A and B are shown apart, each in its own frame.
Chain A
Amino acid sequence: MSYELVAGLETHIELSTKTKIFCQCTTEFGGEPNTHCCPICIGMPGTLPKLNKKVVEYAVKAGIALNCKIRNISKMDRKNYVYPDLPKAYQISQFDKPICYGGYIKLSSGKNININRIHIEEDAGKLVHERGNTYIDYNRGGVPLIEIVTEPDFSSIDEVLEYLEKLRLVMKYIGVSDVKMQEGSLRCDVNISVRKKGEEKLGTRTEIKNMNSLSFIAKAMEYEFERHVDILESGGEIEQETRRYDSELNITESMRGKEDAEDYRYFKEPDLVDIIVSEEEIKKLKSELPQLPDEKLHVFINEYSLPEDDAELLIKYKKIAEYFEEASKGIKNKKIVSNYILGQIFRRMPTDSEKEECSISIPPEYLNELISLIENKKINSSMASNALEKMLDSGKPVREFISEKDMQGIDENTLREICLRALSENKEAVESYLGGKEKAFSSLIGYIMKETKGKADPQKAADILKEIIKA
C-alpha cells in the first residue's frame, strides 16, 4: 500500500519597512521590551490604526514578483480572538479580498506551485516565559507581515524546501524582507495530508507549526507523513488538528482539538478605508523591481554560457550577482570573471552573511579591469591571480601592482630562447615526456614560468616547446 504526500504552505514574512503597519513606531529588531510602542500598537482605548503606505507597496511588489494578480480595490478585516499577545483582541488582516491572488513559483522540475493568495496583516507581541512567570513585550506588535498561502500542490519534502529557497531568494531580490528564519522574519506552517498513490481525493490534513529552520521543516514533515501512514494502515482516522513540532524530541504533538476551533467573526475593519491600487501604480511598482533570480539565472546560463552550478551560486546572493554583472561588462568570456569570484574572492568570504553583504574590498570595476587585461593578453592568468590577491589585500586597482612594462610580457624571441634552455636543462623531463609521461611536460612549463617570473604566456610556451620537440 503506497502512500503519497500532499502539502500546502502558509508562510508569514515580516516586511522590512522602517515603521509598523498601523503606527509610526520603529520596527527595529531587539530593543528593550516595550520601548518601541505607542498607544496605538498597545491597543489603548480610543486609538485608531492608519495604514503604512510602504506595506501596500511591498505587498504588491511581492505579488508581482510571484506572478500574482493584484486586486485594484481591497480592504482590511478584523480577525477576532483573545490571546494576551494580541492587544486589541483582534488582528487586522485581510479575509476575503486579499491584495494579491492567483500566482505561482516555478520549480526547477518545471512544476508550478500555485499561490492562492497573499495578504497583509499585523504581527502580535511576544510572550516571554521566565521562571514560571509569563510576561509580554509588545515591540513586535504591529510589525507588518504578508502571508503567502499555496494550494496543496507539494508532493515531496524536496519540493517544499526548493519552494522556500526560491521564495526567500525572490523576497531578498525585491528587497521587501530579509527573510531570516532564525530571526523570525520568515515563519512557515505546513498543511500535510496523505493519500494512496493514484487517489485523487485529498486525505484529512493536519497543520504543523513551530518549525524555525528548513531542516526542522523537513524532519517535521517526515515524522508527520509517517504518523499519518501509521494511523491509516492500522485502520484509524486522521484527526484534523494543529500540531506543534518539537525539535528536541523530533515529533509533532497536538496543540488544540476540534472543539476549540476558533470562530474569528471576520468583518470589515471600520476604522480603515479601502485600499485602491491603480493600474498605473502597479506598472510603476513593477518597473521598480530588479531582474528576478530565475530570469537572471536564465541569462547567466544561456547568454553568458556559465555552467548551471556556477550560475546558481552567483544568483544565490543578489549583491554577488550584481557585482558579477558589473565586473563582466564588456568581457567576452564571462566565465573567467565568475571563476575568480567563485574561487579566489569567495575564499575571503567564508560565511553566508559575508556573501550576502558582498563585502569585497575592491569595486567591480577593478575586477573588470583585471579581467580585460587577461582577455587582451596583456597579462597571463598566474599574473592575474597574484595581482588579485594583492588587490584584495589592499583595495587598490591592478595598475598598482603590474606596471606597463610587466604587461609587455615576453617577446617571442626571448621566449624561444628560454624554451630551448628549458629543454637543454631538463633532459630527463624531455625523455619522460617523449616516453609518454604527459606530466613531465608541465614541469617544463613550470621551469619556464619560474625563469620568466610568471610573465610568460604558458599556452604560448607550450606551443613553442612542442614545436621544437617535434623538430
Chain B
Amino acid sequence: MSKIKYIQKLLKAKEVSCVELTKNYLNNIEKQNKALNAYVNVTGGEAIKTAKKVDEKIAAGEELMPLEGIPMSLKDNISTKDIETTCCSKMLKGYYPIYDATVWEILKNQNSVLLGKTNMDEFAMGSSCETSIFGTTLNPHNTDYVAGGSSGGAAASVAGNMAAFGLGSDTGGSIRQPASFCGIVGFKPTYGTVSRYGVVAYASSLDQVGPITDSVEDAAIVYDCLSLYDPKDSTSIGSKTGTCDKLHNSIKGLKIGIADEYFEGINEDIISSIEEAIKVYQDAGAEIVNFEIPKLKAFLPVYFIIACAEASSNLGRFDGIRYGYKTDSYNDVNDMICKNRSEGFGKEVQKRILLGTYALSSGYYDAYYKKAQNLRYSIIQDFKNIFKSCDVIITPSVPVTAFKKGEALTDPIATYMMDICTVPANIAGLPAISVPCGFDKNKMPIGMQIIGNSFEDYKVFNAAYQYEKQTKKSDEISPYPEVKI
C-alpha cells in the first residue's frame, strides 16, 4: 500500500494528528541524521506550523488534497523562499532565495509538510554526495556504504524513514542511482513534464525534478501533482495524461525491450536479479523484444560534454555580486570575481566548468559540443525507432551496487562510467524509473530501470507497479516511525 495513502488514512481517521506525525518524523531525524547525514537543514518550525494548519482542516471536516499533511524532504537545489538553499556548496552557504521553485509552490499549496532540505553533491555534480560541503550521506541499509548521488540525501531521508517522500533532481541519473543504492523507488519524468523553474540549474536540457519514494504508487501520486504546465518555464509542457489511474492496467502483451549492450560489464548479481525480474514479467504475460543500441558507449561522452558545457554557462552567474560567497580581499573587480569563484566552488565543480568551457571554446566547439549535439539528435531518433517495437525498455539502473565511502573518487572515468545506464534517458528526455529488484551478496540493494517513450510516463509507472505488486506483499509498507496514540 502506498505510504502516502496510508498516512492520509490515519490522518482522516484521526488516529494520529498531523502535528504528532510530524513530530515523530522529526524525532526520527534527530535519531538518525547524525549517522546518515541525509538532511543539511531541518525546518522543524515550518513543519509544525504546516501540520497545525492541516489538523485544523481535518477538524473542520475538509477534504484533503493528495499530498496534504505528508511529511517530505526537498533536495537543497530546490529554491525555497526564505529558507536557506545552498546546493551544498560554499558558494551558496547563507543564500536565501526570494522566491519559491514551482515544484515547491505546488507542494506548499497542498500543505505538504516540509521537514527539511537534503544533502547532495555540490551543484548536483557527483554520484555519492562526497563533494558536498556537509560531508557524504550514508546508506540506511549499511552505513559502510554511501547512499549515492547526487540526490543521496533525498534517498536516505526516505529509505531511513525520515520522510514519506522526497524530491530530487536528475541530470544523468541523480535520482535513479541513489534510489537504486538505497533500495527504494526513484523516478525521472519525461523532460518538460515537471517545471524546472526555481531548481538551480546544472544542465538545462537534461535536468528534471522527480519523486523518491517507498513505493511506485507514491511516486505516481507525487508525479501527478507535479506534472503541471508551468508558464514560467519555457520548456514546460506538463504531463498529457495522469498516471495513477493507469497503474492497474494489465501488462499482458506489454512489449518489453532488452538490449545486450546494457548488460555488458555489469556486476553478476545485478544481471541475475534483472533476469529474474524479466521472468516475473514474462509470467505475467509480457513479451520480450530484443533490440540493439550500438551507440551506447558513446552516450556517456555525449552526456558529459553537453552537461559540462551547459553547466559552465549556468554557473557563470556566481560572481558574488548579487548573492553568494564573497572573498575577503582582492585587488580589482576581475580578481574579486576569480577569487569568489575559486574559493566558493569545490574542485569537482571547477573541473567541470573548465571542461565545459573547453568544449565550447573556439577551435573545439565543432569537435566536442556540436558533435555531441549531432549525436544527441541521432540518439533521440534511435529511441523513437526502438519504441516503435516496444512499450518500455528494461535495464539495470546502475552497473554496481552502493560502494564504500572514498571508493568513487579515485578514478574519474570509472566514476563517470557509473552513469552509463541512466544517461540515455536524460539525453533523449525519456521517462525512467528505478525500482528495487533484489540484493547483492553483501545484502546491498539492486535497482531495475524501466524506460519509456516520451510522454508515456504512465506506461513506465504501470510496468513498475505491476512488478512491485508481484514481488511485494501489497499491504506491506516499509517501517514507519512509531505512531503514539
Chain A positions within 8 Å of B, measured between CB atoms, are: 39, 42-51, 78, 80, 82, 84, 87-90, 134, 136, 263, 265, 267, 270-273
B101/A44 in contact, CB under 8 A: no
- Do B232 and A48 touch across chains, with their CB atoms under 8 A apart? yes
The answer for the CA separation of A383 and B318 in the assembled complex, in Å, is 73
Residues from chain B with a CB closer than 8 A to the CB of A270 are 203-205, 235, 310
Q: Is the CB of B197 within 8 A of A46?
A: yes
Q: Which residue of chain B has its CB nearest to the CB of A22?
A: B234
Q: Find chain A residues with CB under 8 A from B357 CB.
A: 265
Which A residues are CB-close (under 8 A) to B309?
267
B319 touches A84 (CB 8 A): yes
- Docked complex Cα distance between A39 and B197 (Å): 11
Closest to B338 in A: A82
Cβ of A43 and Cβ of B233 under 8 Å apart?
A: no
Q: Is the CB of A273 within 8 A of B319?
A: no
Bound CA–CA A127/B184 (angstroms): 51
Q: How far is the CA of A367 from the CA of B171 in the complex (A)?
A: 70
- Closest Cβ of chain A: how far from B266's Cβ, in Å? 31
Chain B binding surface SS class? loop
- Please determine whether A45 and B92 come into contact, CB atoms closer than 8 angstroms: yes
The answer for the CA separation of A42 and B318 in the assembled complex, in Å, is: 12
**Contact for A51 among B99, B234, B323, B333, CB less than 8 A:** B234
> Quick check: A271 and B235 within 8 Å, CB to CB?
yes
Are the C-beta atoms of A48 and B317 separated by less than 8 Å? no
Binding site for A on B (CB under 8 A): 77-79, 85, 87, 92, 95, 97-99, 101, 196-201, 203-205, 231-235, 309-310, 313, 316-319, 321-323, 333, 337, 357, 360-362, 365, 369
Which single member of A46, A134, A265 contacts B200 (CB below 8 Å)? A46
Report yes or no: A46 in contact with B79, Cβ–Cβ below 8 A: yes
In the complex, the 3 A-B pairs of residues with the closest C-beta atoms, listed nearest first: A89-B316, A265-B360, A270-B204
Q: What's the least CB distance linking A75 to chain B, in Å?
A: 12
A47–B323 CA distance with the chains assembled, in angstroms = 14
Cβ contact within 8 Å between B234 and A80: no
Chain A residues positioned under 8 Å from B233 (CB to CB): 48, 50
What is the bound-complex CA distance between A198 and B79, given in angstroms?
A: 63
Query: Given A80-B360, A134-B333, A136-B321, A45 and B234 touching (CB < 8 A)?
Result: no
Nearest chain A residue, comparing its CB with the CB of B370: A267
A43 to B97, CA, bound (A): 12
Q: Is the CB of B197 within 8 A of A80?
A: no
B232:A50 contact, CB within 8 angstroms: yes
Question: Please, could you name 8 A-B residue pairs with CB atoms under 8 Å apart, sorted by A?
Answer: A48-B232, A50-B231, A78-B313, A80-B313, A82-B316, A90-B313, A267-B369, A271-B201
| Interchain CA distance A440-B357 in the complex, whole Å | 88
Report yes or no: A271 in contact with B234, Cβ–Cβ below 8 A: yes
Query: B322 near A45 (CB under 8 angstroms)?
Result: no
Known: A84-B333, A89-B316, A89-B319. A44 touches B97 (CB 8 A): yes
> Bound complex: CA of A267 vs CA of B308, how far in Å?
13
Contacts A43-B322, A44-B98, A46-B97 given; does A267 touch B234 at CB 8 Å: no
Among A39, A90, A273, the residue within 8 A (CB) of B235 is A273
B444 shortest CB reach to chain A, Å: 34
Interface of chain A: mostly helix, strand, loop or mixed: loop
Q: A47-B197, A267-B360, A267-B369 are in contact. Are A82 and B337 (CB under 8 A)?
A: yes
Task: Known contacts A44-B98, A263-B361, A272-B234; decide if A87 and B317 are in contact (CB<8 Å).
Answer: yes
Distance of B411 from chain A, by nearest CB (Å): 29
Q: How far is the CA of A45 from the CA of B85 in the complex (A)?
A: 10
- Specify which chain B residues have a CB less than 8 angstroms from the CB of A263 in the assembled complex: 361-362
Residues in chain A near residue B333, CB distance under 8 A: 84, 134
Chain B positions within 8 Å of A48 at CB level: 196-197, 232-235
Contacts of A265 in B (CB 8 A): 313, 357, 360-362, 365
Give the chain A neighbours of B323 by CB distance below 8 A: 44-45
CA distance A408 to B365 in the complex (A): 84
Would you give the shortest CB distance from A247 to chain B, in whole angstroms?
25
- Decide: B317 and A45 in contact? CB cutoff 8 A: yes
| Bound-state Cα–Cα, A314 to B32, Å | 82
CA–CA, A457 to B410, complex, Å?
106
Q: Closest CB-CB distance, B98 to chain A, in whole Å?
A: 6
Shortest B318–chain A CB gap in Å is 8
Residues of A within 8 A of B316 (CB): 80, 82, 88-90
With a cutoff of 8 Å between Cβ atoms, the chain A residues found around residue B365 in the complex are 265, 267
CB distance from B202 to the nearest CB of A (A): 11
Residues on the A chain within 8 Å of B98, using CB: 39, 44
Cα–Cα, bound, A78→B196 (Å): 19
B318: which A residues are within 8 A, CB to CB? 45
CA of A248 to CA of B457 in the docked complex: distance in angstroms?
Answer: 66
Given contacts A46-B101, A47-B197, A87-B322, 7 further A-B contacts (CB under 8 A): A45-B85, A45-B201, A50-B232, A50-B233, A50-B234, A89-B317, A265-B361
A245 CA to B235 CA, complexed, in Å: 43
Contacts of B205 in A (CB 8 A): 270
Chain B: CB-nearest residue to A78:
B313
Contact partners of B99 in chain A: CB under 8 A = 39, 44, 47
A106 to chain B: closest CB distance in Å? 37
Residues of B within 8 A of A45 (CB): 79, 85, 87, 92, 95, 97, 200-201, 317-318, 323
A149–B251 Cα distance when bound, in Å, is 60
B197 in contact with A42 (CB, 8 Å): no
Cβ–Cβ contact A46 & B198, under 8 A:
yes
Specify the chain A residue showing the minimal Cβ separation from B322: A42
